[in-house]
C-alpha cells in the first residue's frame, strides 16, 4: 500500500491515552499515560499504514532504527529486566509500535501489558519528570 | 553486546512449544504448535541475544526484512484481519519474534495471544498441511 505523510492525523484513542514526547525522523514518539509501566509508543507519520509491511523498505529500516534506539535508551534509563516491543493494532488499526520497560514484579509480569486492567494516569509532576528523563537520555545516546 | 552464531542452541521451551519450518538468512522460522492461531516465530541464530537492540545494525535490518516478508506472506495466506508482531521474552529470554495472524473472532480477540489460556496442539495432518502452505507461499512471495 502506498503511504504518505500528507494529511496524517493521529488516531483519537492514541491521542487520548498518550501524550506527545518527541519527534523522530519517521515517527512521533508518545508516552502512554499509564504509570504502571514506562511505556513509549512510536507512530510512523504515514497515512493509511496499518501493518509494518505496508511501509516502504526505507521506512521499515527507519522504524527499526528508531525503535531500537528508543528501546536501548529506555532499558538503560529504567534498568528494566526486559523490553517488550509490540505492533498489535487489534483495537487501534493505525500503525503504532509499543516499547515497554518490564520489571519482574510489575503489575502484569510475566504476561503482556496490553489489555491488562485499567490505565492509571500519572500525576502531572511525575509525567513531566519522566518525559524530561527520556528526552535527556535520548539526547546523550551513543 | 557482541553476538555470534557459533554454538547457538535453541531454548528448550521454544523447542517444546514449536516445530521447525524453514531457515531464513538470519533466523530459524518455527511454527507455534497451537492451532488457535496461525503463529510463526523467528529466532535469530545469535548466541546471547536478548533484546533486538543487542543485534548489530546489519542483523537488525535482516531481522526487519525477514519479519516483514513473513508478515506479508502470512497475512495473504490467512486473509487475516491483523498481524500481531511481538518481541516480549519475559518467560523465554532468548531473542525471538512472534508473528501471529489475528481474526476478529479468534480465541483472544482483541487481546494479545501471549499467556491466553492453554496451547492446543495441531493434529499431525493439519500441521503438515499448514507448514506446506507457508513454505509454498514464501517460495512465491513478491
Res B141: pLDDT: 78
Domain-embedded: residue B68: yes
pLDDT of residue A3: 60
Domain count, chain A: 1
Domain assignment present for residue B44? The answer is yes
- Residue A54 falls inside a structural domain: yes
Q: Which secondary-structure segment (H or E) carries B105?
A: none
Q: What is the distance of C-alpha B124 from the center of its chain?
A: 19
**Containing structural domain, residue B38:** 12-108+120-139
Which residues of chain B have a pLDDT value below 50? 1
CA A1, B99, B137, B107 dihedral sign is: negative
d(CA A102, CA A82): 5
Whether A112 contacts chain B with CB within 8 A: yes
Report which of B98, B106, B58 is spatially closest to residue B80, judged by C-alpha positions.
B106
Residues of chain A under the 50 pLDDT cut: 1
Displacement of CA A67 from its chain's centroid (Å): 8
CATH code of A72's domain: 3.30.428.10
Instruction: Locate A142 and state its grid cell.
Output: 551513543
Distance CA B123, CA A79 (A): 43
Q: ipTM of this model? A: 0.95
Q: Give A-chain residues touching B110 at CB under 8 angstroms.
A: 90-91, 115
Calculate how close chain B gets to A74, using CA atoms only, in Å: 11
Q: Within a domain: residue A39?
A: yes
Is A7 within the bounds of a domain? no
**Residue A23 burial class via C-beta count within 10 angstroms: exposed 0-12, middle 13-18, buried 19 and up:** exposed
Q: Are B66 and B23 in contact (CB under 8 A)?
A: no
Does residue A36 lie within any of the structural domains? yes
Tracing cell 525522523 back to the chain, one arrives at: A25
pLDDT of residue A5: 72
Q: Which H or E run contains B141?
A: none
Query: How far is A51 from A87, CA to CA, in rounded Å?
Result: 8
Instruction: Specify if A94 maps to a domain.
Output: yes
Residue B16 resides in a domain:
yes
B18 in contact with A at a CB cutoff of 8 Å?
A: no
Measured between beta carbons, the chain A residues lying within 8 angstroms of B82 are 50-51, 88-90, 93
Amino acid at each position: 500500500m502506498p503511504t504518505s505523510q500528507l494529511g496524517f492525523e493521529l488516531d483519537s484513542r492514541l491521542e487520548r491515552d498518550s501524550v506527545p514526547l518527541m519527534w523522530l525522523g519517521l515517527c512521533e514518539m508518545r508516552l502512554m499515560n499509564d504509570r504502571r509501566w514506562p511505556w513509549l509508543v512510536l507512530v510512523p507519520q504515514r497515512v493509511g499504514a496499518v501493518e509494518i509491511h505496508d511501509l516502504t523498505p526505507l521506512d521499515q529500516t527507519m522504524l527499526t532504527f528508531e525503535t531500537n534506539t528508543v528501546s536501548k535508551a529506555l532499558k538503560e534509563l529504567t534498568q528494566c529486566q526486559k523490553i517488550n516491543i509490540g505492533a498489535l493494532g487489534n483495537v487501534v488499526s493505525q500503525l503504532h509500535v509499543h516499547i515497554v520497560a518490564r520489571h519482574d514484579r510489575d503489575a502484569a509480569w510475566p504476561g503482556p501489558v496490553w489489555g491488562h486492567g485499567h490505565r492509571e494516569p500519572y500525576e502531572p509532576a511525575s509525567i513531566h519528570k519522566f518525559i524530561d528523563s527520556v528526552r535527556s537520555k535520548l539526547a546523550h545516546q551513543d
